[in-house]
Amino acid sequence: MHGDDADLVRRLRAGDEAAFAVLVRRYQAQLVRLASTFVSSRAVAEEAVQEAWLGVVRGIERFEGRASIRTWLFRIVVNQARTAGVREHRSIPLDLGDEAAVPAGRFDRDGDWATPPGQWTDEVDARLDAKALAGRLKDLVLELPAAQRQVFTLRDIEHMGADEVCEILGLTEGNQRVLLHRARSRLRGMLEAEMGGV
Amino acid sequence: MLFRRRRSLVCRQAVELMTDYLEDALSPRGRDRLEAHLAECPHCTEYLAQIRDVIAAAGHVEPDDLPSGTVDGLVDLYRTWRTGT
C-alpha cells in the first residue's frame, strides 16, 4: 500500500475525522464532477457521492489495499452514480461512438487534406497558451457524450493513467483508448470551430 | 512518388492514429509509418500539435471550488455514521 494511503487507512479505521476531511478536501470536487456524468443534476451527483463516502466508512475495515484509496473511492462513486442513473432511467449502454476524428468532407478523394487544420495563432511557431485555452475547454467538455467525458476528464484533466481509468470505469484498454481518441478529436474540432477556423 | 504515398498512410487515416501514437499503442511498424507521414505532411503535423494543445489545456483546467460548508457537512455526517454504526 502507498505510504500515504496506509496512514490514511489506519487513521480511518481508528475513526480519525481529520483523515476523513483530508480525503474529502482532496477528492470531493473530482468525485462530484465524475458522478455528474452519470446522472441528471448536480444535486443527484452530490447525493451519490455522499452515499459513496458512507460506503467508504463502512468498507474501510475490508479495504485490502490492492488498489489505491483513490481508485477504490472512485470506483465506489461510479457504482453509486450508475445506480442513481438507473433509477433516473438514464442508464445507457456503452456507446463508443463511430464518428471520424475529422469529418470526411475535410479530405479529398485520395484522403489528403482538402481543408487542412487552420493555425490557432497568427504567430509563426507559437502555440496557444494552455492556461488561456483551459477556461474554454472546461465548458466544451460538458458537450461531450458521457462516456467520452468520463475518460477525458479522468485521463487528461485529472492526470490518471490508462490502467487506473479502466479500473474505475470498468473499461477494456481498447475501449478506453477509443473513447479518449473521440473526446480529444471532438474537442480539437470544437476549438477549431470557435477560433474561426473551419 | 504518388504510388508510394498511396501505399502508405493518407491524412484521413493518419488523424485516426494520433491517440494510439501518443499512447504508445502502435506497433513499431505503424509508428514508423505515421512518423514518416508526419515528416512530409505539415497539415497532419499541425493537427497533432493541436491535439497536444488540447491535452495541455486540459492539464490547466482548475478544479471546481467546493461550496462552503461541504467539508464540515461531510465530517458531521462522518461523525453520525461512526457513532450510529
Instruction: Give yes or no for residue A169 having a pLDDT over 90.
Output: yes
Distance from CA of A156 to the nearest CA of B (A): 6
What pLDDT sits at residue A85? Answer: 87
| A125-147 per-position pLDDT tens digit | 567 788 888 999 999 999 999 99
Instruction: Give yes or no for residue A163 having a pLDDT over 80.
Output: yes
Residues of A in contact with B55 (CB under 8 A): 156, 184
CB contact under 8 A, A29 and B47: no
Please give the average per-residue pLDDT across A59-69, as a whole number. 87
Please report which helix (H) or strand (E) contains residue A134, including its range: helix A130-141
| B44, B71, B75, B78: best to mutate for the A interface, most A CBs within 10 A | B78
CB contact under 8 A, B16 and A181: yes
Global confidence as pTM: 0.90
Other C-beta atoms lying within 10 Å of the C-beta of residue B72 = 11
Single-letter residue type at B56: A
CB contact under 8 A, B85 and A177: no
Strand partners, A107: A113
Option in B10, B19, B25 nearest A184 (CB): B19
What pLDDT sits at residue B62? Answer: 87
| A68-79 per-position pLDDT tens digit | 999 999 999 999
What pLDDT sits at residue A154? Answer: 97
CATH 1.10.1740.10 boundaries in chain A: 3-87
Option in A30, A57, A188 nearest B54 (CB): A188
Q: What CA–CA distance (Å, rounded) separates A39 from A46?
A: 10
| % of chain A surpassing 70 pLDDT | 93
Mean of per-residue pLDDT scores for chain A: 90
Option in B43, B49, B70 nearest A28 (CB): B70
| A9-46 per-position pLDDT tens digit | 999 999 999 999 999 999 999 999 999 999 989 999 99
Residues of A in contact with B10 (CB under 8 A): 107, 110-112
Distance from CA of B35 to the nearest CA of A (A): 16
User: If we measure between CA atoms, which residue out of A187, A189, A101, A191 comes closest to residue A141?
Assistant: A187
Instruction: Give yes or no for residue B6 having a pLDDT over 50.
Output: no
- Locate cell 433509477: which residue? A87
| B27-71 per-position pLDDT tens digit | 999 999 999 999 999 999 999 999 999 999 999 998 888 888 999
Q: Which fold has domain A3-87?
A: Rna Polymerase Sigma Factor; Chain: A (1.10.1740)
Residues of A in contact with B51 (CB under 8 A): 184-185, 188
Q: Which residues contact A76 (CB under 8 A, 6 or more apart)?
A: A52, A55, A56, A59
The residue extents of the domains of chain B are 2-84
Tell me which CATH code domain A104-194 carries. 1.10.10.10
Q: What CA–CA distance (Å, rounded) separates B84 from B71?
A: 20
CB contact under 8 A, B44 and A185: no
Q: What CA–CA distance (Å, rounded) separates A113 from A106?
A: 6
Q: How far separated are the first and last CA of chain A, in Å rounded?
A: 50
Q: What CA–CA distance (Å, rounded) separates A175 from A142?
A: 20
Q: What CA–CA distance (Å, rounded) separates A70 from B6?
A: 48
Buried b (16+ CB within 10 A) or exposed e, A94-107: eeeeeeebbeeebb
Instruction: Give yes or no for residue A196 having a pLDDT over 90.
Output: no
Helix (H, G, I), strand (E, B) or coil at A107: strand
Q: How far separated are the first and last CA of chain B, in Å rounded?
A: 75
| pLDDT range class, residue A94, cuts 50, 70, 90 | confident
